[in-house]
Every structure is written in C-alpha cells, then in structure tokens.
Amino acid sequence: MALVLALAAGLLLLGRVFRVPWGPQAALLGILFGAVALIQMTLPQGHALRAATGGSLANWGILAGLGALAGGYALLLRHLRARAAPTEPPAGQGTFSAAELERYARHIVLRELGGPGQKKLKGARVLVVGAGGLGSPALLYMAAAGVGTIGVVDDDEVSLSNLQRQVIHTDERQGMAKVFSAQIAMREINPHVTVRPYRRRLDAETAEALFADYDLVLDGSDNFETRYLVNASCVATRTPLIAAAITQWEGQISLYDPARGAPCYACVFPREPAEGLAPSCAEAGVIGALPGVVGAMMAMEAIKEITGAGESLRGRLMLYDALHGENRIVRVARRADCAVCGGI
C-alpha cells in the first residue's frame, strides 16, 4: 500500500511542479488506482504483487472512504469561506458598490423599497420631455434617487428669465443648451447615473422610436402640441406617461396608461382649450416654487411606478392649489371613443 501511495504522491508532486491541469492528474490517479483494484480482484490471496499493493480490496475501500470524507470537508470549508468573504461588486450590472449602498441607505431601509426597489431604480430607463420648470426638480430628484438611465429632450437654451423657477440651471450656464446644463447638474448630484441629453424638438417622425427605448416617460412640456404628441407616442409604444402642467398658482398631475386600463391624456383632455383659456406661463405668470412642488411630485410618482410602492396616480388626476394650500383627487376613466387610445 505504501508503494502505491508513494506513486500517487509522486504524480501529484510532478503535476504541481509542471503545472499540469487537475483533469490530466485525476486521470492518471484513476489509472493507477484502477490497476490496483484490478490486481486485488484478479490475483490470488498471498500473491507478492497483491501484497505489495495493499493485500486486500477492503483496505483500499476504507482508505477511499476516509479520503472522500476529508475531501468533502475541504469542499465544505471552501464553500463557507467563499460565502463569508466580504466582496464589493462592480458598479453597474444591477449590483451596488459600497459608495452606492451608503448613498441609497435611506431608501434601502424603507420597507416599501428596500434593496429590491433600489435595484429596480438602478435598472430603470426614464425619459423626461422638457428641462424647464417641471423637468428641473423631476430630473434632479430622479438622479438623486438612483434612476439608472435618464434621458432628457429639449431644444431650448438657458435664459435669465428661466432662473426664477428652473432650479437645475445656473446663472453661469446662461446660453447653454438646457439638456447639457441639466446633464452637468445631474452628474454633480449622482455620478452613478447615465444621462442621455437629446438637444432637439420632439417630432412625430422620431418620437415613437425614442420612446420605445424607455420604460417610463415624464412630460413637463409647456404647450399642448407637444403634450398631444407625447401622449400619442406613449400610446403607440405602450409606455406609461406621467404628465403634469402648471399655471400661476395651480398644477395638475396624473399617470396616463391605457395599455393597463387607465385613460390616456386625450381621454381626459380630448381637445386643446380655446385661445386665451390656457395662457402660457410667460403670459399669465407662475409662482417660482410651484413647478418645484409639482415636478417633485412627478419624480415621486416615477419612483412609485418603477418600484411598485404605494398607490399610483393611474386613473386619478391630482389638482394642486398652492394659493389656498389645497389638493383634490379626481377619478378619470378611459373613453371608448377616444381618437388616440380607443382602438387598443
């Protein structure tokens, strides 16, 4: 037996010296012990070769059992050490670095979000139409929350009159394209998010292809032409839409999603208001903090929609009156004769 064990040890030592892979080494050991088993089974009791190789197959069986126990114990230790070893996974790929875990700690301890909810935020792709009053807080809070990919569409440039309410921009960035100004601010808040700036005016030819690359769209535009285009594109791509609007002291927000039973924007507002009934902020004015409140609501609804936390505004229209400090919720429903979503 000692001779066979010495040969096995010699094979292992040579394999280690010459860096032979474990597969060939195991094959050689298998051949060696197979030959020993053949000798023990075929040669008569008392034969010199049989005595030199252990004398009995039972002895090798006991030795093999002890070896299996030792090997199993070693594998178990390796497995437990691997599980206990502290690791810091690379950022991206749905995992969190140590810095991200600390950054999002207040989210992760929330029962309604936790780690799974934060992971959903990291994997989400949200497109924001408009980097103005409503888009500013929505973009900032989504970036801070860790929404993994955020697109922003706007063709305008930062002007001095924007700065009374569009808090994502700064005095130094006057004249810069709003999408690039927003990108700078978002990356300063959270370098772990991906920002996709689209300096363009949204049009019917490209909107659907753009929206199809996102899980959720937020519309903070300031004109009805764009709102109806955004709604039609969301309906066509079956993308949930969080749309808001503000004027003077009042705002409104809802989640439009006909693919999941809620109305689309055109169900609730089938026609553009008559001339003069819905003046722009430039014409009617707007209190500076109002878009901050409603835009933050947009980010809040986006976080809830992505993570599944709480009750969304799907099928409900929230009306906010800042002057009198009042909120109202109005139930809204799909219209079977809607020209935009009636056929889905």
- pLDDT tens, residue by residue, 230-272: 999 999 999 999 999 999 999 999 999 999 999 999 999 999 8
Q: How confident is the model at residue 85 (pLDDT cuts 50, 70, 90)?
A: very low
Average pLDDT over residues 293-302: 98
Two tokens at 208? Answer: 């659907």
Average pLDDT over residues 17-38: 68
- The pLDDT of residue 92 is 43
Higher pLDDT pick, 255 / 49: 255
- Residue type for 28, please? L
Contact indicator for 331, 337 with CB cutoff of 8 Å: no
Pairing between β-strand 149-153 and β-strand 316-321 as defined by DSSP bridges: unpaired
pLDDT over 50 (residue 339): yes
Higher pLDDT pick, 62 / 290: 290
161-194 residue pLDDT tens: 999 999 999 999 999 999 999 999 999 999 999 9
CATH classification for the domain delimited by 125-331, as one of 3.40.50.11540, 3.40.50.2300, 3.30.470.20, 3.40.50.720: 3.40.50.720
Higher pLDDT pick, 126 / 205: 126
- The pLDDT of residue 57 is 67
Two tokens at 326? Answer: 């009042």
Average pLDDT over residues 279-286: 81
Residue spans in the chain of domains classed CATH 3.40.50.720: 125-331
Mean pLDDT lowest among 109-123, 261-275, 318-332: 261-275
Mean pLDDT lowest among 27-31, 111-115, 194-198: 27-31
Average pLDDT over residues 298-317: 97
pLDDT over 60 (residue 283): yes
Interatomic CA distance for residues 241 and 260, integer angstroms: 11
3-state secondary structure the chain: CHHHHHHHHHHHHHHHHCCCCHHHHHHHHHHHHHHHHHHHHHCCCCCHHHHHCCCCHHHHHHHHHHHHHHHHHHHHHHHHHHHHCCCCCCCECCECCHHHHHHCHHHHCCCCCHHHHHHHHHHCEEEEECCCCCHHHHHHHHHHHCCCEEEEECCCECCHHHHHCCCCCCHHHCCCEHHHHHHHHHHHHCCCCEEEEECCCCCCCCHHHHHCCCCEEEECCCCHHHHHHHHHHHHHHCCCEEEEEEEECEEEEEEECHHHCCCCHHHHCCCCCCCCCCCCHHHHCECCCHHHHHHHHHHHHHHHHHHCCCCCCECEEEEEECCCCEEEEEECCCCCCCCCCCCC
Residue in 200, 131, 202 with CA at minimum distance from that of residue 162: 131
Task: List, in sequence order, every residue forming a beta bridge with 248; answer none if it has no partner.
Answer: 286
How many beta carbons lie within 10 A of that of residue 89, not counting itself?
A: 12
Interatomic CA distance for residues 122 and 173, integer angstroms: 29
Left (φ > 0), alpha (ψ -120 to 50) or beta: where does 55 sit? left
- The pLDDT of residue 82 is 52
Contacts of 82 (CB under 8 A, 6+ apart): none
Average pLDDT, the chain: 86
What is the C-alpha radius of gyration for the chain, rounded to an integer number of angstroms? 34
- The pLDDT of residue 84 is 46
How many beta carbons lie within 10 A of that of residue 199, not counting itself?
A: 15
Contact indicator for 185, 169 with CB cutoff of 8 Å: yes
Q: How confident is the model at residue 90 (pLDDT cuts 50, 70, 90)?
A: very low
pLDDT over 70 (residue 44): yes
How many beta carbons lie within 10 A of that of residue 85, not counting itself?
A: 7
Interatomic CA distance for residues 279 and 224, integer angstroms: 11
